[in-house]
Structure 1
Amino acid sequence: MQKETPAELRQRIRAGQHTGHTSGYCAGYVQCNVAILPKAWANEFLQFCQLNPKPCPIVAMASSPGATKIPSIAPDFDIRTDVPRYRLWENGRLDKEVTDISSVWRDDLVTFLLGCSFSFEEALLADGLEIRNITEGVNVPMYDTNMTCQPAGRLHGNMVVSMRPFKPADAIRMIQICSRFPSVHGSPVHFGNPEDIGISNINKPDYGDAVSIRAGEVPVFTACGVTPQAAIMAAKPEFCITHSPGCMVVTDMSNSKLAIL
């Protein structure tokens, strides 16, 4: 696991030296999903998040349209350069992935940062639980489901989940620990048979990478911050920006501040 500080990692990201996933980096610090929409869509997106707090827990947002700084998460943070990889969307379709959005930034864009399950991984590791995607050095597997989100105006869609395998006794402990972190997705939304939530092949995630599921283990599914991408694809705004799955904002905020003791 990397030992660099969030500021050091952000500097490497800004310089184009780190363009991959951030799972397992900067232990102890909050990581965030990203959604950036035009002002005309911002209020509906805020309402969508408020109606769907498990997949879309807001950690911070820009103070005004066009703002590129969010000092509450880090004094040097710049949304245009400090995400390892961004996705640009046009009319609900993925246009391309880039590592810097300075050239496409607009004064009407509003930034939302959403809680990420990477933040509770530290608590699981501290309790002696293995996080398989960290052990195997890959991005966490994520899946589209048939679990419907509450719509808000033009925004609607199904929940996306991330998956971590555990033995049944460890799964119970994982549920207990994650329940202490409601601002980063909280307790799992499902465990056991993936077909019950519309996942036909657990070995072929829709986002991220597949991980090993060993004999005697069950898949445990947690709400995922990629969910807004599904809503964006369905609503088809003319333009918006998200993070590439697994490529998060790494903040200066301590994970311990998010826990409910």
Structure 2
Amino acid sequence: MNLQILSPVELRRAIRAGELKGNTSGLAQGFVQCNLAILPADWANDFLKFCQLNPKPCPLVGISAQPGDIAIAELGEDLDIRSDVPKYRIFKDGEFVEEVQDVTQHWRDDLVIFALGCSFSFEEALLADGLDVRNISEGVNVPMYRTNIECKPAGRFSGTNVVSMRPMKPADAIRAIQICSRFPSVHGAPIHFGDPAAIGIEDIHSPDFGDAVTINEGEVPVFWACGVTPQVVLEQAKPSFCITHSPGHMLISDLPNSRLAVL
């Protein structure tokens, strides 16, 4: 199966059938991929406020209309949030308990879906400009790190940012800032580049999520706010139950990236 030529709905159906289980970086070019946070309804208002106060790590792309809905209509045709993501993470009382490929058996009528913008969307714009996106050129998941950068608290939610990293030459990093500034709904411009220790990262070669990538001589690590941040925040807030995507394993939507660009 040539995954590169499949449409978003075809990719979701392949995921649902168990034919695609890996990370989704580089797939469905031209279309928005989404991070997920799925919470009980009595936690939803606090989380919505948290997203509104922290648009860099949590750029809200869609929210389910009613608790228990299994789709967000504007994000895709024939979409079932319970089975259309390659891998999910289940949390109970803030503790990660298991990773699964389908959450149908875990679904509840009180769950609310939050779909958040993903850096995979702006990667396409970087590639189109001729920049090397190292996780794509090396065929691995993007490296992600916990940091000491505090989020703005909202209700029961607080914590620190997770960042994704792509190494670049300084001139390319400046160009990446210019490009990504046009995409505020998918994390926007980088929030740091250079010394990892300045944002609390002890070992750049040992990411907390995803895979390490090569950093060549003359390159600097460039860091973007990351949609894995809600997982760290959920660990701290400790809702009795929640579901997220597994890092790098996104919901592929029918929403064109161009609709999120600021021209």
Quick check: TM above 0.5? yes
- Counterparts in 2 of 1:226-245, with a 5 A limit? 226-245=228-247
Question: 2:71 is matched with which residue?
Answer: 69
Could you give the per-residue CA deviations for residues 181-233 of structure 1, whole angstroms, max 9, x where no partner exists? 00000000000000000000000000000000000000000000000001100
Could you give the per-residue CA deviations for residues 223-246 of structure 1, whole angstroms, max 9, x where no partner exists? 000000011000111000000000
Could you give the per-residue CA deviations for residues 161-184 of structure 1, whole angstroms, max 9, x where no partner exists? 000000000000000000000000
Aligned to 2:224, the other structure's residue is in SS state strand
1:167 pairs, out of 169, 184, 190, with 169
Instruction: Tell me how far 1:134 sits from its aligned partner.
Output: 0.3
Q: Which amino acid aligns with 1:47?
A: K
Distance in 2 between residues matched to 1:199 and 1:12, nearest whole Å: 36
Question: 1:103 is matched with which residue?
Answer: 105
1:11 aligns with 2:16: no
Question: 1:120 is matched with which residue?
Answer: 122
Distance in 1 between residues matched to 2:224 and 2:122, nearest whole Å: 11
Aligned to 1:72, the other structure's residue is in SS state helix
Aligned to 1:164, the other structure's residue is in SS state strand
Identity of aligned residues (%): 64
- Counterparts in 2 of 1:173-184, with a 5 A limit? 173-184=175-186
Aligned to 2:173, the other structure's residue is in SS state helix
Aligned to 2:234, the other structure's residue is in SS state helix
1:46 aligns with 2:48: yes
1:135 aligns with 2:129: no
Distance in 2 between residues matched to 1:176 and 1:3, nearest whole Å: 29
1:205 pairs, out of 204, 207, 232, with 207
Instruction: Tell me how far 1:4 sits from its aligned partner.
Output: 1.3
- Counterparts in 2 of 1:184-203, with a 5 A limit? 184-203=186-205
Q: Which amino acid aligns with 2:89?
A: R
- Is this contact kept in 1: 2:9–2:77, CA < 8 A? no
1:253 aligns with 2:255: yes
Aligned to 1:177, the other structure's residue is in SS state helix
Query: TM-score if structure 2 supplies the norm length?
Result: 0.98
Aligned to 1:172, the other structure's residue is in SS state helix
Distance in 1 between residues matched to 2:154 and 2:19, nearest whole Å: 38
Aligned to 1:9, the other structure's residue is in SS state helix
Q: Which amino acid aligns with 2:239?
A: P
Instruction: Tell me how far 1:45 sits from its aligned partner.
Output: 0.4
Q: Which amino acid aligns with 1:117?
A: S
Q: Which runs of 5+ in 2 are unaligned?
A: none
Could you give the per-residue CA deviations for residues 42-77 of structure 1, whole angstroms, max 9, x where no partner exists? 000000000100000000010010000211011211
Further displaced range: 68-77 or 207-216: 68-77
Q: Which amino acid aligns with 2:172?
A: D
Question: 1:20 is matched with which residue?
Answer: 22
Distance in 1 between residues matched to 2:121 and 2:95, nearest whole Å: 29
Q: Which runs of 5+ in 1 are unaligned?
A: none
Question: 2:34 is matched with which residue?
Answer: 32
Total equivalences in the alignment: 261
Query: TM-score if structure 1 supplies the norm length?
Result: 0.99
Instruction: Tell me how far 1:2 sits from its aligned partner.
Output: 1.4
Distance in 1 between residues matched to 2:28 and 2:98, nearest whole Å: 28
Instruction: Tell me how far 1:255 sits from its aligned partner.
Output: 0.5
